[in-house]
Amino acid sequence: MSTPSQAEVRRSIAAAGTIVVKVGSSSLTQPSGHLDPAKLDALAAALAQVRLMGGRVVLVSSGAIAAGFGPLGFDSRPADVATQQATAAVGQGLLMARYETAFGRFGIRVGQILITAEDTIRATQYRNVQRTLDRLLDLGVVPIINENDSLASNEIRFGDNDRLSALIANLVRAEALVLLTDVDALYTAPPSQPGSRRVEYVPNVIDALGDITVSGSGSKVGTGGMVTKLEAARVAAVSGIPTVLTCASNAGPAMMGDPVGTVFAPVKARGSSRRLWIGFAAEPRGTIMVDAGAAAAIRGGRASLLAAGALEVHGNFSAGDPVWVDSEDGAHLARGLAGFDSEEIPQMLGRNTAQLKRFLGPEYAHPLVHRDNLVLV
């Protein structure tokens, strides 16, 4: 597909029927760590306007831990995981109560979805989340999504919801993703550095990643930095979804296609939601190493991974789990869904279909990873 102009990408965002908006903790809180009602109300008002004009809106909102540590008497975000989880349990309720009040002023209902990475690994769980979100949107509800920080300890340190928002955009087949943070746009280097320039338009985020110097989280209440924002924009871009990155006060203009923040063009047409899930949402549980012939066939794009071309298996996984497919030099070739449990595969390595049938039985005469479940990286 040809690269669209900045104006074309912004027009497509303004015309989006379904839009996912992600807001970070620092955009919703006061420096003390308490929720800032004025900031939250302003964001809700901007989203409500889109909803009242007929748009379908999904909000991915951080802020549970940030909302909870002030009321619990902490001066700053707690460092230990158990206290973070307890704080999130308190803060999530406070956060949702504020959102319910803010959207209620416009006659709009909200619904809470707490999610972890586990909810995107199994196909059945993935479809359950998708079905629930679709129904909420059909009912005119604004789903408010957050990672389940109270239960998933590894998730608390995971990307401040940026990657999750891009995956949710895939899930609901959104036409636009808006990432709201505490800076007004992407810069060529941290804005405090001399010579740093604001970037208005990124036609290809994959190419741009090498030209931009980014740092970690800039706030005391959030966990993500510009790195995770760019990764989210990349996931969206290769999924056919345009993205705007800007500050929370620009939420309304960003959704209306105004020239604020940084806009990222999609770099390919949208693939199937399921293949996007295999490629991005599912975290691989193991690795199957393949020989040069199998690697060449997989790179060709339409070949299944057969046992005859497999050399080694690493990790502990079940049939249906995501796995890496690696070349002999350790390079990732593809992600895929395993056709067998990890303990079944060693006896299959190097054997052709006839040998698998003869020695192991007809139930083993199938690909280790079927081509429909393989996504090239």
User: What CATH number does residue 332 fall under?
Assistant: 2.30.130.10
Domain C-terminal end among 249, 276, 303:
276
53 annotated to a ligand binding site: no
The pLDDT of residue 182 is 85
Q: Is residue 284 within 8 Å of residue 335, measured between CB atoms?
A: yes
pLDDT by 10s per residue, the chain, length 377: 578 899 999 999 999 999 999 998 889 988 777 788 999 999 999 999 999 999 999 999 988 888 888 889 888 888 888 898 899 999 999 999 999 999 999 999 999 999 876 676 666 778 888 999 999 999 999 999 998 766 654 533 444 688 889 989 988 999 999 999 888 998 887 777 888 888 999 998 877 665 565 544 444 444 446 778 888 898 888 888 999 999 999 999 999 999 999 999 998 766 666 677 777 766 788 999 999 999 999 998 789 999 999 999 999 988 888 899 999 999 999 999 899 999 999 999 999 999 999 999 999 999 999 988 888 88
Q: What is the DSSP string of 216-249?
A: S--SSS----HHHHHHHHHHHHTTT--EEEEEGG
Residue 1 lies in a domain: no
In this structure, is residue 225 part of a structural domain? yes
62 is in an annotated binding site: yes
**In the listed set 276, 292, 312, which residue is the last one of a domain according to the structure?**
276
Q: Does 229 belong to an annotated binding site?
A: yes
Say if residue 66 is in the same domain as residue 25.
yes
Considering the domain boundaries, does residue 248 fall inside one? yes
- From residue 246, give the alpha-carbon distance in Å to each of 243, 269, 288: 10, 24, 40
What phi and psi values does residue 175 have, to the nearest 5 degrees?
Answer: -100, -5
pLDDT at residue number 246: 96
Specify whether 62 is located in the same domain as 135: yes
Whether residues 163 and 254 share a domain: the answer is yes
Q: Is 228 marked as a binding-site residue?
A: yes
pTM: 0.81
**Do 114 and 167 reside in the same domain of the chain?**
yes
Whether residue 68 is annotated as binding a ligand: the answer is: no
The single residue listed with the structure tokens 């912004």 is: 10
Residue 339 among known ligand-binding residues: no
AA identity, residue 169: A
Q: Where are the alpha helices (DSSP H) in the chain?
A: 6-14, 37-52, 64-69, 81-104, 123-138, 153-156, 162-171, 205-208, 226-237, 251-255, 273-276, 292-299, 353-359
- The tokens for 103 are 């959207």
Q: Any known ligand binding at 161?
A: yes
Residues 371 and 271 in one domain: no
226 is in an annotated binding site: yes
Quick one: how far is CA 364 from the chain centroid? 35
Do 300 and 346 fall within a single domain? yes
State whether 130 and 179 are in the same domain. yes
Do 223 and 342 have their domain in common?
A: no
| Structure tokens given for 55 | 């748009």
- Asked which of 251, 276, 301 is the last residue of a domain, the reply is 276
Q: Do residues 270 and 293 both lie within one domain? A: no
Total number of domains in the chain: 2
Report whether 182 belongs to an annotated binding site. Answer: yes
44 and 192 housed in the same domain:
yes
249 annotated as a binding-site residue: no
Instruction: Provide the residue range defining the domain that includes 358.
Output: 284-376
